[in-house]
Amino acid sequence: MIADLFSLLKINSERDDAKVTPETPFGPGPVAALEKFLSLAQRDGYQTTNVDNYAGHFTYGDDLPDDAEEIGIFAHMDVVPAGTGWESDPYSPEIRDGKIYARGASDDKGPTMACYYGLKILKELNVPLTKKIRFIAGTDEESGWGDMDYYFKHVGLPEPDLGFSPDAEFPIINGEKGNITEYIHFSGENTGAVHLHSFIGGLRENMVPESATAVISGDIEQIQAKFDAFVANYADKNLKFESKSAADGQLTVTLHGRSAHGAMPEKGVNGATYLAKFLDEIGVVSPFTKIAGQVLIEDHAGEKLGVAFEDTKMGALSMNAGVFKFSDQQDDNTIALNFRYPQGIDEDKIYDVLNSLSGVESVTKSAHGHTPHYVPMEDPLVETLLSVYEKQTGLKGHEQIIGGGTFGRLLKRGVAFGAMFPGDVDTMHQANEFIPVDVLLRASAIYAEAIYELAK
C-alpha cells in the first residue's frame, strides 16, 4: 500500500492552466496521476475506464444484475500547489517519525489508497456482495470540479445510488456548507507618498496565501525600520519580510505568513492582507490596499465585510481572501474571496454586499459553485458508516458539518468519510503536509468493513 501510495505522491499533479491541451484538460500532472491510479487498478484485475483524462473509474461487481444498486466512492488525484516552507521535497515522499510527508499525503492520495486497499481486501477474500462498487478518481477537485461535470455528462452511466468520499475526517461529514468564489474588481489607479506598481499574492482560492509580493516606489526610505515596527505589533503572527531594490528606484517587498486550507482561514496567516495593511500604513492610497488591509484582514467570518451569518445547524459563514492580482497598468485588478456559507444565505446576497463596497468597481462570480448539502442522521448510509466507525474505534460517532467541499456532495445520498481521526493534526493545503502510516492502516480496516456493510 505504501509503495503504491509513493508512486502517486511522486507525481506533481498540480493543475497547470499554461499546459492545458485537449489531451490534458487541467495540465499534464493530473493526467499522469490519474493514469497511474488506473494502472494500479488494472494490475489488480479491474476493468478501468478513462473519460478523456478528466476522470476515470473501475468497477467491482460486474457479475451482479444490471439493476443492482451501486455505491460510488469518489477520490481525486489533483493537489493544491506545494508552495514554500517545506523541510523536504514535496514530490519526493519520505517517512519521518512514522509520518509520510508529501503534497497529497493527506489530501487526497493517502486516503484514496487507504480506501482502495479496503476494497482490495474484500476482492481478495472474494466476499459476496449485492451492490456494485464504482471507484471514481477525479483530476480537478481542488479547483472548479470541471472533472466531475465532464465525467457525468460523458461517462454514459447513471449516477451511483449512494456513496462517500475518503477526503475529510471521521466519524463522518454528512453536511457541507455552500461554496462560492466572488471576485471584487478595482482600477489600477493609486495615489499617495508611496506608489503601488504591482501586487501578487496567493496560489489558489481555497488556500490562505502564504506570501505576497508588491513593487513600490516613492517615499520608501527606512523601509526596513518601518517593517520592523509593523512586525513588532504582530509578534504572534511570525511574519517575515524581504526587500530587493532595483536601479529604477523601485523596491520589491515580500511578506510571508502561513498557509492553511481556505475552509479554515483562521488556521493560517494571510500574507497578502498583512502586506496590504503595511502598504496602507506607509502611504499607499488605493481602494485595493484599503479593502485588503483594513477590511479583509483577519475577517474570517465576514463581519467587517458585512456578510457574517450563522445557522443553528450548519454554523457560521467563513471567508478566505485567496488570490490577489494588481497592476497600475491595468484597469481590471481582482481579489478572489472564497465563501463557505450555511443554509439561510446565498451567493446573491453576498454579491449584493460586495457590490456596495466603496472603491469596488464591479463584482463577478465563479462559474462553479455549490449550495449547502446535508444527509440526515437517520439515513441508512450515515447510520451504517457511523456504526462501523464506532465498532472499530470504540468512540461515539456523531454528525459533522464542515466548510470544506468534498466529492461526497456529488450525490444526494453522499457523504465524506475519513481518513483523518479526531485529534489528528490537519496539514491539508499546508507546507509539510503528512499522514501517519498508522492512520492509513486504521483507515483501510474501517473502509473495508464500511464497504462490506454497505454492499453485503
Residue 22 burial class via C-beta count within 10 angstroms: exposed 0-12, middle 13-18, buried 19 and up: exposed
Question: Catalytic one among 4, 14, 70, 78?
Answer: 78
Report d(CA 134, CA 136) in Å as an integer: 6
Q: Quick check: 75 and 167 in contact, CB under 8 A?
A: yes
Which triple of cell numbers denotes residue 136? 471514481
Report d(CA 157, CA 162) in Å as an integer: 14
Length of the chain: 456
Report d(CA 288, CA 65) in Å as an integer: 60
Question: Catalytic one among 141, 167, 280, 347?
Answer: 141
Is 449 labeled as catalytic in the residue annotation?
no
Report d(CA 158, CA 32) in Å as an integer: 26
Find the helix or strand (DSSP H, E) in which 272 lies: helix 271-282
Closest by alpha carbon to 166, among 373, 450, 456, 454? 450
Displacement of CA 374 from its chain's centroid (Å): 19
> What amino acid occupies position 394?
G
Query: What's the order of all strands across the beta sheet hosting 55-60?
Result: 48-51, 55-60, 132-138, 70-76, 162-165, 414-416
The interaxial angle of helices 380-393 and 437-455, nearest 10 deg, is: 140
Q: Which residues 6+ apart lie within 8 Å of 46 measured at CB?
A: 58, 59, 60
Residue 261 bridge partners (DSSP): 207
Is 78 labeled as catalytic in the residue annotation?
yes
Residue 365 bridge partners (DSSP): 182
Strands (E), 13-78: 48-51, 55-60, 70-76
Per DSSP bridges, beta strands 310-311 and 315-316 are antiparallel
Q: Quick check: 190 and 286 in contact, CB under 8 A?
A: yes
Where in the sequence numbering do the catalytic residues fall? 78, 141
